[in-house]
Structure formats: C-alpha cells, structure tokens
Amino acid sequence: MNLRLSLLLQIWKLAHFPCFLKAYSPISDESLKAIPRPGEDFDIKTGKILAPILIPRVPGTEGQATVLNHLVSFFKTELPQWDVEIQNSTSKTPVTGNDDIPFHNVIVTRDPPGTSPGEVGYLTLVAHWDSKRTPEGFIGAIDSAAPVAMLMHTARALDTAMTKKWAAINELGIKQDDFDLGLQEHKGLQLLLLDGEEAFAVWSKEDSIYGAKALAEEMETTFHPALSTYHNALASIDLFVLLDLLGSVLGEGNPNSRMPSYYKTTHWAYKSLATLETRLRDRSLFASSPNHPSKRLMSSESKERRSKQKEPTWFFDVDKSSDRWMGGFIEDDHLPFIARGVEILHLIPSPFPLVWHESSDDGEHLDMDTCGDWAVLMTAFAAEWMELEGYLDTKLKSKRAADKEEVVSKSEL
C-alpha cells in the first residue's frame, strides 16, 4: 500500500474510532529484518553502550557518578531530540548511619513534535542501573547493566523511524489544533533508568527500590494542566515494561528458569512479545537459536550443517491453562508503580539465573547472542507499539545483507 495512503487511512481511523489512539500494529517481515543488532556496541570491553556500565556502580560511589555521566552523555550526544531529566533523591540506609545516600533516576522521553504535557501516553521501558554493594566488586551484568544497554539500543534504533513518521504526519497538515479531532499522534517512548534498586543490607520494604519509590511518588504529584488527557505524569504511562536479570541463556544450568507471564491485565502484551519471538526465530533472526545459520555450520572449512534442533521458547506461558498469576511474587522496581494503578509487564526469568547476586555476574558470563536478541526483540515490540511500519530503514538493512552475502560467497570461493 502506498505510504501516504496508509498514513491517511491511519488518520481516518483515529478520527472515527478513538480506540485506535492506543493501537498496536504488527510490523512486516521486511521491517522486522530491518531492525539492527547492537553488534560491537555491546562488546564487554570496548562497546560504547555496554562496556562503560560494566563497573561497580553502588549509589554514593565514584562508579555511580561515572556511569551516570555515561548514560546522560549517550542520550545528549547520540539522541539529541530526546528529553533527558534526572530525578534526584536521598535516603538513609541500614549501613550508612546518618549519611544521606544520593539516588539519580534517569528519565528519557521522545514526544511527538508540537505536543503538550499531559497529551502523550508512553510505552515506558524500565531497568535499574545501580549495582549491589556486596560481594565487593560486584558488577551486576544481568542485574541490570545488560538490560539498560538493551533499552539504550532500542531508543537509538527507533529514533530515525519516529522522526520520519512524525514528519510525514506534519506534511499532511496535522497540527496541534487537531488534537480535539483525534488526528494527532498521542504516543511517545519513555525510558526510566532507575537507581537504588538493590538493598544495602538485606532486602526489605525499607531497604530496596529507593529510586523507584521516590520517582513513583513524584510522578503521582506532578500534575498536568486541567483538561489534559492524562492528569499527572504517572497516568501518562500506558504500559510499564520492566526488564531485569536478562542476558544469560535461559535455562542454562537451571532448566526450569523461564519467562512467565505475571499479570493477567498485561498478558496481551506478553503474547505480543511471544509472537515476535516466534517470528524472529522462524526467520533466523535470533542469534542465540541453535538453528541460527552461525550455529549450524559444522566448521569454517565445511559447508555441511548440523541437523535442525528443537527451537527453545522464552515466552512459554502464552496459553496459560490456569488463572494462577505470579504477580507480586517477585519484588522489584515495579511495586510502587503497580500500587498506584500502573499496568505492569514484568520481564524477569523465574527461577533466577544461577549468577544472580554472585561475583560471576560479570561481562564474561553474559551470553552476547542472547543480549543482542533481547535488544532486537524489545526494539521490535516498541516499533509495533509506536506503529512504525513503513518507517524503518529496510533499504539499509537489505544493503548490509547483500554485502554480507557477497563476503560469504567470496570466502567460500
């Protein structure tokens, strides 16, 4: 379908059917293949996204300040059209006496141009960026340096596509005055990089999720102008997607470690991710798959390939047979938000990976194919939420694929 005609059809739907304001539209196979992988940016030693986060970053330490500077600098230099805000708070902890420990939540948003506060609802992607105080020198690669890097990649991968979409809407003359007609884009993308998730002594209601508690309270009392679609900053969150403990091979060393669906009200989003996972696996776009071409090649000298293996599944809980939901079973940064009525999609494996809170939770124990796959999956989910079909750079991806095919052909010769 002609892109201009497709956009006009979308605008007509918005004008006549307000329910489409929160539509979720699957992207095509061509667009799915166009989603870039993080590649060298996730190198644990030199990658410009992930490597700077793989240091101890306990609140109140020099490491915290270093990583905070990295996060802010990335968005200000790589993604200048995104709004970056730091929400600061302090708190006493069980191990620091009367000293107030600083916590810094990084809030990054991309709004449609010309919109006003209170008119945009967000897909809010969340991970915590602090690390645990003990054991000494703890890195916390899956907990949660890698999830933070995945979200940074998602924002960068979709930035140009969002710009193209909003420019196309503007070309059709859809202005701010058309909000009342339901013609303007009302959806934005938001990242919450939370500080102070880890306990300083032993996890408890008081000693944990310091940053999340402070931010949820502030967002609840940050009111938008009267008659806004969303009355406060908290209400602007249409879906809160929390990533934690991601970057290991699911089931490695613990075959029962899988990705459950925790909340009934967001099971639809869980199923959307499951569908995307299946599509990516079926199209050989998951590098961690045992059936990915790179895994099936017997050797670099041989063209023989291993037989196809049973494809693993992260999102196994699609057809939930019971009404037993595990929401609330795992305590995490979502708690102060769900207590205030925010819809939560919690992406955390259960049982936890074996490296959880161990010194071995470092860069060397990440599975880089898995990290890249999560980055692609979250980018695809956000692209569908933002309805970016037709705006992803499929031509660039096709050129990369052709170049790669040419290299492989030459090497085989």
pLDDT in tens, 248-303: 998 776 777 789 999 999 999 999 999 999 999 999 999 999 999 988 775 556 56
Closest CA to 126 of 197, 50, 190: 190
Q: Which amino acids are annotated catalytic?
A: 197, 244
Percent of the chain with pLDDT over 90: 76
Residue 16 has pLDDT above 90, yes or no: no
CA atoms within 13 A on the CB side of 330: 23
Which two structure tokens, joined as six digits, stand for 224? 């938008």
Each residue of 343-400: pLDDT tens digit? 999 999 999 999 999 999 999 999 999 999 999 999 999 999 999 999 999 876 544 4
d(CA 166, CA 383): 14
Q: What is the pLDDT of residue 298?
A: 56
Whether residue 349 has a cis bond before it, omega within 30° of 0 = no
d(CA 258, CA 267): 16
Q: Please, are residues 148 and 407 in contact by the beta-carbon 8 Å criterion?
A: no
Residue 200 has pLDDT above 90, yes or no: yes
240 SS3 class: strand
- Arithmetic mean of pLDDT over the chain: 88
Which two structure tokens, joined as six digits, stand for 405? 């095919």
Q: What is the pLDDT of residue 399?
A: 44
Measured at the CA of 379, the angle between CA 7 and CA 84, to 5 degrees, comes to 90
Q: Please, are residues 139 and 362 in contact by the beta-carbon 8 Å criterion?
A: yes
Q: What is the DSSP string of 185-201?
A: --EEEEEEEE---S-SS
Residue 244 has pLDDT above 90, yes or no: yes
Residue 406 has pLDDT above 50, yes or no: no
Query: Which residue would you say has higher pLDDT here, 48 or 19?
Result: 48
The residue type of 62 is E
| Ranges 60-64, 183-187, 309-313, 315-319: which has the least confidence | 183-187
Q: Residue 6 CB: number of other CB atoms within 10 A?
A: 13
Give Cα separations from 264 to 146, 160, 258, 326, 346 (angstroms). Answer: 27, 34, 18, 9, 11
Helix locations, 309-367, DSSP H: 335-338
Give Cα separations from 39 to 171, 273, 361, 412 (angstroms). Answer: 35, 22, 21, 23
Percent of the chain with pLDDT over 70: 84
d(CA 349, CA 261): 10
The residue type of 175 is K
Which DSSP category does 145 fall into? I
Range 316-332 average pLDDT: 87
